[in-house]
Amino acid sequence: MICFSIKSSLQRLTNASMVGFFVLFFSLVIGPLTQASANNPEPTSLRMMTYNIRFDNPADGVHAWPNRKELVASVIRFHKADIIGVQEALEHQIQDLMELLPGYDWVGVGRNEDGGGEFSAILYRSSVIAVKEAQTFWLSESPDEPGSKSWDSSLPRIATWAHFVTSSDGRELFVLNTHFDHRGEQARLESARMIKEQVSKLANRLPVIVMGDLNATSEQPPLVLLSDTPLSDGRSLHDGFRHSIQPHHGPTSTWTGFTKIEAQRRIDYIFASEDLPIHYHAILTDKLENRYPSDHLPVLVEVELKD
């Protein structure tokens, strides 16, 4: 009995010592680490996509919108895109996507004077990120005039932008989605100039994403202007294809005509301001039964929002 009591006392002493050790260890080591983590929260990653979904043209036959809308939605859903800039979208196409993509919302107006026609809308996952403000302007000498066009543009062209705030940690991001004219060379160049001016004015030094169908390849003047000249605040816009931390994934062209990737036609882009690291960049080739969901391939990046 005496031996048992001594053994029990020693065991209690040992257990108490261990508890004391762990308390001391937590207070001296784990505690400061936890506080440091609270003071320096983990970066937030977001997946951004630009996607010309092709307007609903019944003359497209087997490639008409009713035959491919589920696949367009599936690509967005499978690749877990948080923010998507779509081009050529008619309003009923956006509504179709909203039905097929529960948990998403959108902002934008049509390019025509009455607010109809094609949209350069921004879709977003509403559980992940919220819109603080959003507007659309026209790529013309009268950017606030609905339906306006200038230079040699064949059609009214627009840019829709949104100021986003992440739901988890309140980080902020400025996103602009656009679609340059397919015919007017001067219009594309002036549109690029206008985009840089408007972003400089509107973003207020927030991290910036500029994306869209720019109807020009990377060596042509509009892309050179976007890539090689800084914003007025001194920051540069980085083409995700060239500045991704991980190597680019997929082909080097974004045009398919629905059936075949055409070489040397990278005309869809995602740019990020230099303070927004781009971890991944991909041109996606998802298709079903040898048919692509659109005549353009979507572009996807993953970016990192820091404090």
pLDDT of residue 306: 85
Question: How many Å apart are CA 17 and CA 242, to the nearest integer?
Answer: 58
pLDDT of residue 274: 96
pLDDT of residue 290: 87
pLDDT of residue 287: 93
CB 183 within 8 A of CB 271: no
| Residue 73 tokens, joined | 């939605």
pLDDT of residue 277: 97
Q: Chunked in runs of 10, what are the mean pLDDT values of the chain (307 residues)?
A: 42 49 46 47 87 98 97 98 98 98 98 97 98 98 98 98 96 98 98 97 97 98 96 96 98 96 97 97 94 97 92
Distance of CA 145 to the CA centre of its chain: 27
